[in-house]
Amino acid sequence: MTIRLTQTVKKGGCAAKVAARELRTILGRLSFPPTHPELLVDGRHFDDAAIYQVSETQAMVQTLDFFTPIVDDPRTFGRVAACNALSDVYAMGGTPKTAMAILAFPLTEIESEVISEVLQGACDLLKEAKTCLVGGHSIDDDSLKFGLSVTGMVHPNRVWTNQASRTGDTLILTKPLGTGTLNAALKFGGLTEADLKVVHASMGRLNNVLDFLTPEEALCIHAATDITGFGLSGHAWQMAKASQKIFEINYAHLPIFEQAPKMLQEEYLTKAHKTNAEYTEGGIVDRKGLTALETLMLHDPQTSGGLLLSVDSAQAGQIVKQLAVHFPGVAVIGQVRNGQSTEGTGEGVGAIVIH
């Protein structure tokens, strides 16, 4: 019997993340352990991964990510989950080296052959990324969950964070938007996996942008983050806020999967559409006449979405040209402005303007 993985869980992919506002509330109650001088990046700015310096020329990138099924095919699920986890390392300018599996599934309800297919999908992706699977941990649980803990390496002077956007930078997005609503449509019968081949191929595409750029081009990338469960709105706002800048985004330039607007119009939504809107309520200071559907697209929770890059404008065109061969839909979506408040506009430090 063929099992539809999306029917075994209530929520799938990065749409299952704890809402950003709730997560900040929870973390705000904690007394964290002391940091170390070697800890270059921690979680204070909601960056994608931690950076720990081990020598003058090497720093360790650490992250983990796991979620419930967002697709029905087990091998595709394993591939997408692995790709999503590795994306955090790429978003820091790093190269993934090792990975450990995080696996939970109901032993009496899902056959072991299905789980082997999930793991094989991850192994196939890790082979492409030249990353070693070195172990992991599994438990018997009520629902299937899979992901990876990933360790990578980066030169301490070449770390990307979400805190270093510069005034005048160009904003580039490497993958189209819309995976949240499209996979909700898959779960609830509005679309089939055959309808979503292009979407799932994008979700399973590594965000290894550095592999396709020269060292000189790579140095022109000042800041980065990957777009996942908090949507373009949430992750872009976190990056603008951490950098103390204003991101001006042109909606007409956003790469969007062809079927996504129709699925939003048919109200294939997730809980994250609502919580992402609540999270960015004070961060998007001007929508300049966007429709309700267009606003939903900004809040659409992405799974294994693209990288948002803040790039020296003089090199943005060349970087897009280089990446376009490997990332269908890569596009310039906006500019970075000075983060100082402009009297009478309501704009402040760490904000998004969309037109």
Spatial distance between the Cα atoms of 283 and 36, rounded to a whole number of angstroms: 31
Which of 205, 231, 194, 206 lies closest to 72, judged by CA? 194
For 200, other C-beta atoms within 10 Å of its C-beta total: 23
Q: Measure the CA–CA gap between 311 and 234, rounded to whole angstroms.
A: 20
* Tokens 């509330």 found at: 25
Residue 202 CA to residue 206 CA, distance in Å, equals 9
Structure tokens at 1: 């019997």
- Tell me whether strands 95-105 and 145-154 are parallel, antiparallel or unpaired: antiparallel
Vertex 204 angle, CA 199 and 206, to 5°: 125
Q: Which amino acid is at 56?
A: E
Which amino acids are annotated catalytic?
14
Token code pair at residue 235? 């992750």
Mapping DSSP onto H, E and C, the string for 10-59 reads CCCHHHHCCCHHHHHHHHHCCCCCCCCCCEEECCCCCCCCEEEECCCCCE
Name 154's bridge partners. Answer: 59
From residue 44, give the alpha-carbon distance in Å to each of 7, 18, 40.
Answer: 36, 17, 11
